[in-house]
Structures are given as structure tokens and as C-alpha cells.
Amino acid sequence: MHGTTRGGRGQDHGGDTQAWNAQVQEQKMREAAEKTREEAFAAEIKQNDKITCILEGRERRDRKSLCRAINDFQQTFQKPETRREFDLSDPQALKKALPAGISDDGENAVIGMHKFMGEDLKFRERKKFQQEQNREWSLQQQQEWEKARADHKMAEDLYTQARLQADEVALHLQKLQLATQKAVNAAVKEFNKNQAMESAKRKRQEKKQEQEDNLYEISTLLHRDPFSESPEQMSGSLGPCHVIPSCWRGMTQEQLQEARLTQKQQIQEKQRLQEEEHQRNMDWDQRRTQRARATLLQERQQQRLQRDLRRALDSSNLCLAKEQSLQKKHNEEVYKNQPTGDYFAQFNTRSR
């Protein structure tokens, strides 16, 4: 039923090519959107891994610092010589004890008489001194315990503050990534919507043109004279472009010129469409370049934020190191007078 030489149907194959190109373009858009989404997911996973490594490294350093501080404290303030019961298990007790025949004050109780078994001439003074020493040790332990609790609380506060800062940085980076992803999705959605509208409009126009051509051919077959060869009846009432195949006996010079002009116009139209396609490709390449530049800027911003976070952590560690150094110097000044061997030698000098 369709005419094969009508000028109005001369772009059927061109329309199919445009539809194929549109489908190919839509497929490319979907692949680009999927690739962008996968890259965003990969960047998010990479960022989360970096933050996790930073936090784990900070936790390991804090644990090592705490163990080192405990060892230093034990080696400095919890030596065996400073224990309360060291005089009972001192391996040098016999060497430090006074010789037989010498009393606690260095003189014999009776001239020429040795020390009696169980005699303790300074029991009250030693007991009073031991009570005073126990009280001093108790106060010292209480002060050290309070100081250790304060240091531990300060370290926990600093660690909590660093964790909160890291969480804020991670949340800010996640928000930036979500905003970028939303912008990309909106652009892709808008492009797909425009392509779908153009495709639907083109299909409606083609269907309308096809219906008009069919109606014209039916009307021509019903009203024409099959034995007439007149050009007017051959052309039909809709113009010279709608030719009846059964009545056609060749083209006139005007029709040939018009066909050549139509071909030339079609060639120009095809060139224009190719230029528009090339321009669209250039625009898409430019958008892709801009998106890549935006992604690069975002990565650089993430790196700057990570450097700031690392600097903040280094500054916090430096402050902690300075405070520990000052505390160590203070302890060295406060506890520099350690008990000597003579102090412990005055205890357990005889059997009770």
C-alpha cells in the first residue's frame, strides 16, 4: 500500500538510524552512570578504609604508650627495695645486721655483757616510726592513685575528642560525595527524559505521516481512472510528490530537478544531523571532563582534610608527650630522695 518513490517517505531509513543512534546513546549514558556510581562506591569504601586505618593506628599507639608508661612507673616507683615488707625478705639482711654483742644504740647494756635473746630496747620508737611511715606511704599511694586517674581521664577525653573530629570529617566527606552523586544522577535523568520525549515525538510524527499516506493511496485507488496516462491523474491531487505507481510513465525534467534538489537537501540535512551529533558528543565529553575535574577536586579536598586531621592528631600526641615529660620531671624532683640501705638496716636487727 505504501508508495516507494514519494518524497515524504524518503527519510525512513534516516529515522531508523537516528533511533538506533539514540538507543546507542542511551546505552552509553546508562553505562557511564553505572560506572560513575561504581567509582563513587569504590571511593567511599577507600575513604572508609583510610579512616579505619587512621583510627586503628591511633589506638595501637595509645595502647603502646599506656604499656610503656606502666612499665616506666613500675621500674621507677615499684622497685623491690621500696616495698614495705622488703626487710623481711632482704637477701642482704645478715650482712646488714649488727654483730653479736652490740646493742641497738651501739653500746652494751651491761659492761662486758652480750645482748640477751629477744631484747628490743627501741621497740616503742621503731613502732611509732613504722606507723608514721605507713601513714606516709598510704598518703603517697592515694595521691599517686588520684594523679593516675586524672591522667587516664585526660587521655580518654583527648582520645574522644580526636574520634569526634575524625567522625565529623568522615561525615563531611560523605555529604560531599552524596551531593556530587545527586547532581550526576539529576543530569543523567534529565538527559534520559529529553531523549525519551524526542523519541516519542518522532514516533508520533512518523505514525501520523504513515496514516496520511495510507489514506491518500486508498482515496487515489478509489477515484482514479486506471487507463488514463495524464500527468495530472498520475500526480494525484496531493501534489507531484505523491505519484501513483500504476500510472507512472517516467519523470519530467521538473521532477528530475526537484528530485535532485531534494537529494541535495537530504544530503545537507544528513550533514547537519552529523554535525549536531558531533556537537552533542563534544558536549558530553566536556561534561565528562568537568565531572572528572570535580571528582579530582573532591579527592584533593579529602586529602587536605586528611592532612589536617593528621596534623591535629600529631599536635595532640605532642601535647601528651610534653605533659608526660613534665610529669616525669616533677616525679623525679618530688621522689628524688629514695631510702638508702642504712634506713632499712635498722629494722629486723634481732629476733623477737
Q: Give the pLDDT confidence of 59-89 residue by residue, as tens digits.
A: 999 999 999 999 998 888 888 888 777 877 8
Query: What's the pLDDT at 43?
Result: 87
Q: What is the pLDDT of residues 185-238, one digit of tens each?
A: 888 888 888 888 988 999 999 999 888 888 877 776 676 655 555 555 555 444
How confident is the model over 121-135, as a mean pLDDT? Answer: 85
Query: What's the pLDDT at 235?
Result: 56
How confident is the model over 132-149, as a mean pLDDT? Answer: 90
Residue 131 has pLDDT above 70, yes or no: yes
Tell me the CA distances in angstroms from 158 to 64, 162, 302, 324, 326, one per residue in order: 16, 6, 23, 14, 18
Q: pLDDT class for 102, splitting at 50, 70, 90?
A: low
Residue 7 has pLDDT above 70, yes or no: no
User: Taking the chain, what is the end-to-end CA distance rounded to the nearest angstrom?
Assistant: 134
What is the rounded CA–CA span in Å between residue 19 and residue 21? Answer: 5
For the ranges 17-21, 39-43, 185-189, which has the lowest average pLDDT? 17-21
Question: Can you say whether residue 211 is alpha, beta or left, with left for phi > 0 and alpha for psi between -120 and 50 degrees?
Answer: alpha
Contacts for 185-190 with beta carbons within 8 Å, 24 or more apart? Answer: 185/33, 187/287, 188/29, 188/32, 188/33
pTM of structure: 0.27
Within 13 Å, how many C-alpha atoms sit on residue 348's CB side? 15
In whole numbers, what is the pLDDT of the chain averaged over residues? Answer: 79
Query: What's the pLDDT at 240?
Result: 55
Query: What's the pLDDT at 116?
Result: 60
What is the rounded CA–CA span in Å between residue 351 and residue 257? Answer: 140
Q: Is 347 helix (H, G, I), strand (E, B) or coil?
A: coil
For the ranges 86-95, 118-127, 176-185, which has the lowest average pLDDT? 118-127
Nearest-CA neighbor of 309 among 168, 206, 200?
168
The domains of the chain are located at 23-64
Query: What's the pLDDT at 248?
Result: 60
For the ranges 139-143, 252-256, 304-308, which has the lowest average pLDDT? 252-256
With pLDDT > 90 as the criterion, what percentage of the chain qualifies? 14
Q: What is the pLDDT of residues 223-276, one digit of tens each?
A: 665 555 555 555 544 455 556 665 666 667 787 888 889 999 999 999 999 999
